[in-house]
A = this chain, B = another copy of it.
Amino acid sequence: MGPATPAPGGRATPGRSAERRDAQDQARLEQGLVDMFENRIVFNSVLGLKVDSVKPADVRGSFAMTPALVGHFTHGRLHGGAISAVLDAMGGLAVMVAITEHHAAETAAQVMQRFGKMGTIDLRVDYIRPGVGQRFFATAKVVRLGGRVAFTQMELVNETGLLLATASASYIVS
């Protein structure tokens, strides 16, 4: 984007205000996002949830089946609550990535501050199939990032690509 198309909330740096943050700042932001998600949001680490991609059009994460996540003890299946927890977390991550992209002219620090206003409004999870597998892969996309509310859709598959769950969640963003 050039100066003629100022980004919303862009910095006032003379002559550069509508420009996208530079590659280094972007990398720092992405790294900060991943670190926050995997480590500082502690429950995500309990789930063993790792970020696989924070590209705006491709937000993905995954986690391994572990004894701690078992729900149906006789079958060793994933707990429904672990599924909902992961999909909730991934939806939030996708919204953060979308905010990062939408405010591409802001610094990492400015964008991180926006995350503080975010909150999940509600979540729906459809348990399509029993949670069977060795490793689980979740994708999340932002259907719409509005000025006040963001809508997301998530999916969970196992290592064979079998669809286990879908979810949608809405978030307040300002």
Interface residues in chain A, defined as those with a beta carbon under 8 Å from any beta carbon in chain B: 36, 40-44, 46-47, 67-74, 79-82, 84-86, 88-89, 92, 116, 119-130, 143-144, 146, 148-149, 151, 153, 163, 166, 168, 170, 172
CB distance from A163 to the nearest CB of B (A): 7
CB distance from A124 to the nearest CB of B (A): 5
The answer on a CB contact under 8 Å between A36 and B73 is yes
Distance between Cα atoms of A126 and B146 in the complex (Å): 13
Main SS class of interface, A: mixed
Distance between Cα atoms of A168 and B167 in the complex (Å): 9
The answer on a CB contact under 8 Å between B81 and A69 is no
The answer on a CB contact under 8 Å between A84 and B123 is yes
Asked whether A126 and B151 contact (CB < 8 A) given A85-B85, A88-B80, the answer is yes
Q: Which residue of B lies closest to A130 (CB)?
A: B119
| Chain B residues with CB below 8 A from A126, complex form | 121-122, 143, 151, 168, 170
| Chain B residues with CB below 8 A from A74, complex form | 116
Asked whether A127 and B116 contact (CB < 8 A) given A41-B73, A68-B46, A73-B42, the answer is no
The 29 sampled A-B contact pairs (Cβ below 8 Å) are A42-B67, A42-B70, A42-B79, A43-B68, A43-B70, A43-B79, A43-B81, A46-B68, A79-B85, A80-B85, A80-B123, A81-B84, A81-B89, A84-B84, A84-B125, A119-B127, A119-B130, A121-B149, A122-B124, A122-B125, A122-B126, A123-B125, A124-B125, A128-B143, A129-B144, A129-B146, A144-B163, A148-B172, A170-B170
